[in-house]
Structure 1
Amino acid sequence: MSPAPTGRPAAPAAPDAARTVRTVLGDIAPGDLGVCDAHDHLFLRSPLLPGQELDDPAPAAAELRAFRAAGGAAVIQWTPYGMGRRAAELPRLARESGVRIVAATGLHHAAHYAPGILERLPADLAGLFVAELTEGIGGTGPRAGMIKVAGGFHGLDGHARRTLAAAAEAQRATGAVIGVHLELGTGVPDVLDLLCGDLEVPPGRVILGHLNRSPDLTAHRLAAEAGAYLAFDGPSRAHHATDWRLPEALAALADAGYGDRILLGGDTTTAGARSVNGGPGMPYLLRGHRTRLVRTLGQELVTRFLTANPARAFAADWGPRAAGT
Structure 2
Amino acid sequence: MSGVVRTVLGDLRPEELGVCDAHDHLFISSPQLPGQELNDARAARAELEAFRTAGGTGVVQWTPYGMGRRAADLPALSQATGVHVVCATGLHQAAHYAPELLKEVRGGLAELFVRELTEGIGTSGVRAGLIKVAGGFHALDAHARWTMTSAAEAHRATGAPVAIHLEMGTGALDVLDLLCGELGVPPHRVILGHLNRSPDLVVQRQAAEAGCWLAFDGPSRTHHATDWRMPDAVRALADAGFGHRVLLGGDTVVAAARSVSGGPGMPYLLRRVRPRLEAELGKEAVDRILAENPGRAFAVEWS
How far did residue 234 of structure 1 move? Answer: 1.1
1:207, 1:229 within 8 Å by CA — same for their partners in 2? yes
Separation in structure 2 between the aligned mates of residue 242 and residue 300 of structure 1, nearest angstrom:
25
How far did residue 139 of structure 1 move? Answer: 4.6
- Listed one character per residue, the Cα deviations across residues 177-216 of structure 1 (whole Å, up to 9, x for unaligned) are 0000000000012101100000000000000000000010
2:81 is the alignment partner of 1:78 = no
Residue 249 of structure 2: aligned partner: 265
1:236, 1:243 within 8 Å by CA — same for their partners in 2? no
SS in 1 for 2:208: helix
How far did residue 122 of structure 1 move? Answer: 5.2
Separation in structure 2 between the aligned mates of residue 296 and residue 317 of structure 1, nearest angstrom:
33
2:28, 2:69 within 8 Å by CA — same for their partners in 1? yes
SS in 2 for 1:76: strand
How far did residue 141 of structure 1 move? Answer: 2.6
Residue 323 of structure 1: aligned partner: none
**1:129-140 equivalence runs, <5 A:** 129-140=113-124
Q: RMSD across aligned C-alpha pairs, in angstroms?
A: 1.1
Separation in structure 1 between the aligned mates of residue 209 and residue 265 of structure 2, nearest angstrom:
31
Separation in structure 2 between the aligned mates of residue 241 and residue 301 of structure 1, nearest angstrom:
25
Q: Of the candidates 114, 135, 146, which is equivalent to residue 162 of structure 1?
A: 146
Q: Of the candidates 191, 214, 226, which is equivalent to residue 230 of structure 1?
A: 214
Residue 110 of structure 1: aligned partner: 94
Separation in structure 2 between the aligned mates of residue 123 and residue 26 of structure 1, nearest angstrom:
30
**1:84-99 equivalence runs, <5 A:** 84-99=68-83
2:278, 2:286 within 8 Å by CA — same for their partners in 1? yes
* Gapped regions of structure 1 (runs ≥ 5): 1-13, 321-325
Would you say how many aligned residue pairs link Structure 1 and Structure 2? Answer: 303
SS in 2 for 1:19: strand
**1:1-325 equivalence runs, <5 A:** 14=1, 18-121=2-105, 123-235=107-219, 237-318=221-302
How far did residue 114 of structure 1 move? Answer: 3.1
Separation in structure 2 between the aligned mates of residue 238 and residue 244 of structure 1, nearest angstrom:
12
1:214, 1:241 within 8 Å by CA — same for their partners in 2? no
- Listed one character per residue, the Cα deviations across residues 129-183 of structure 1 (whole Å, up to 9, x for unaligned) are 0010010001543000000000010001111100000000000111100000000
2:188, 2:212 within 8 Å by CA — same for their partners in 1? yes
Matched to 1:265, the amino acid is G
How far did residue 115 of structure 1 move? Answer: 4.3
2:208, 2:245 within 8 Å by CA — same for their partners in 1? yes
Matched to 1:88, the amino acid is A
Separation in structure 1 between the aligned mates of residue 59 and residue 298 of structure 2, nearest angstrom:
11
Separation in structure 2 between the aligned mates of residue 268 and residue 239 of structure 1, nearest angstrom:
13
2:17, 2:58 within 8 Å by CA — same for their partners in 1? yes
The change in CA–CA distance for 1:132 and 1:194 in structure 2 (over 3 A counts) is same
1:235, 1:289 within 8 Å by CA — same for their partners in 2? no
2:220, 2:253 within 8 Å by CA — same for their partners in 1? no
% identical equivalent positions? 68
2:71, 2:124 within 8 Å by CA — same for their partners in 1? no
TM-score calculated relative to the size of structure 1: 0.91
Matched to 2:181, the amino acid is G
TM-score calculated relative to the size of structure 2: 0.98
Separation in structure 1 between the aligned mates of residue 105 and residue 221 of structure 2, nearest angstrom:
33
- Listed one character per residue, the Cα deviations across residues 278-322 of structure 1 (whole Å, up to 9, x for unaligned) are 00000000001111111121101111110111010011235x7xx
Separation in structure 2 between the aligned mates of residue 267 and residue 244 of structure 1, nearest angstrom:
16
* Gapped regions of structure 2 (runs ≥ 5): none
